[in-house]
Structure 1
Amino acid sequence: MSHYPRPSRLLGFVIVAALFFAGCGYHFAASGDALPSSAQTIYVERFGNQTRVTGVNDEVMRYIKDEIDLHRRLKIVDSPSAADLELSGAVRFATEVPTNFNSALEPTQYNQSMVLSAMLRDMHTKKTIWTANNISAGEHTPVVPQTTVATTPTFLQQNLRSNDIANMTDIQTAQSETASSREVLMQRLAQNLYAEMAEGF
């Protein structure tokens, strides 16, 4: 006797799941359907920094503002008094940990990761309309030419070629790849924050 569900049961499950997500108002992140329809402007308060990485909060804020601008749903203003919404938050965690090693136990790859908390307030009602405590992103970073894959989006974003990386020293590779991976990490983090904020997840 087969333990797999009959096709009719599977089809019923798919239909129920589809209705569930439709009822929850699931939409693509760019639509911003969870934001108040009357909100046109947003003030991004300086994020706090709960890590030991100096200036990481200011760095990530630049990417968050760029992501908000990219969607053209809200206009960023310089004063909370001129804003319909206020976004605030903090960088809770930022780390770079070696994950792969060579035969001499020297790191050949690191993992960069970051976690944010954020809150969105309606400046007219003075009520919090969205909060999230674990917005995260991570990125693997090769630091020697031998572990660099020349076909990844992170590598291609640098406008380098495979023979360029082959001629670079370990230090040059580490500096180039770390900077590129950090940029991708920040972009993904900002994208994740906007998606959650705009859709109310």
Structure 2
Amino acid sequence: MLSLFGCGYHFATVKDSLPGGVKSVFIPTFQNRTKESGIENMFTSALRNEFIKSKAIQVLDRDQAEGEIVGKVMVLSLEATSHQEKNLEERGTKILAREYSASVTVEVSLIRNKDQKVLWSRSLSDSRRYSSAEDLLVNETKQREAFDKIAVYMMEQVHDQMFEDF
């Protein structure tokens, strides 16, 4: 027979509401304050998916929800972090990026609908590195994958922090 008493393990309590007792939310499309078209959709989808997956509270239409989680993609940057020399035959030797760092900063707030009170608010930043490719299409795909990983990770953090802070 297995006994878990006194061994240091405990069962985490599952919370069924957010700060302010909010049990249902509407998640509108994030605002995009950057020049990267469509980045707001990645973050919106990642946040919606996180709440739907957790089933802790309901994600509803605006007129049915007790609260609204609003987000803004504030800063997005790409920076070459590693370089290499490459002989481009007739164009000579050029210095090309070998690795990039993609970084994003978002602001997310939980607002209670009945009185528009901000119940929770955070600014979060994250970055990911990815290797560059000579093929432009492959490079764009790697960049999108980096931003997608950032979005998923950051929205997991938003979800978890909202429940932990209550």
- Where structure 2 has 5 or more consecutive residues not aligned to the other structure, the ranges are 1-11, 86-93
Please tell me the residue identity of whatever aligns with 2:150: L
Shift of 1:34: 7.3
Q: Aligned pairs, how many?
A: 147
Q: Would the aligned equivalents of 1:49 and 1:56 in 2 still touch at CA under 8 Å?
A: yes
- Where structure 1 has 5 or more consecutive residues not aligned to the other structure, the ranges are 1-27, 145-169
- Structure number having the greater helix percentage: 1
**Distance (Å, rounded) in 1 between the aligned partners of 2:35 and 2:81:** 21
Aligned residue in 1 for 2:165? 200
Instruction: Indicate which of 63, 83, 88 corresponds to 1:101.
Output: 83
Matches within 5 A, 1:55-66: 55-66=38-49
**Distance (Å, rounded) in 2 between the aligned partners of 1:50 and 1:179:** 18
**Distance (Å, rounded) in 2 between the aligned partners of 1:43 and 1:199:** 20
Shift of 1:45: 2.3
Per-residue CA distance 1:61-99 (angstroms, 9 max, x = gap): 0111111112111111122x2111111121100111111
**Distance (Å, rounded) in 2 between the aligned partners of 1:34 and 1:200:** 11
Shift of 1:190: 1.2
Aligned with 1:53: secondary structure?
coil
- Structure number having the greater strand percentage: 2
Aligned with 2:95: secondary structure?
coil
Structure 1 length-normalised TM: 0.64
Structure 2 length-normalised TM: 0.76
Does residue 1:43 correspond to 2:26, yes or no?
A: yes
CA RMSD of aligned residues (A): 2.6
Percent identity of paired positions between Structure 1 and Structure 2:
16
Which range moves more in the overlay, 92-101 or 171-180?
171-180
**Distance (Å, rounded) in 2 between the aligned partners of 1:37 and 1:129:** 6
Q: Would the aligned equivalents of 1:60 and 1:190 in 2 still touch at CA under 8 Å?
A: yes
Does residue 1:142 correspond to 2:134, yes or no?
A: no
Please tell me the residue identity of whatever aligns with 1:88: V
Does residue 1:177 correspond to 2:142, yes or no?
A: yes
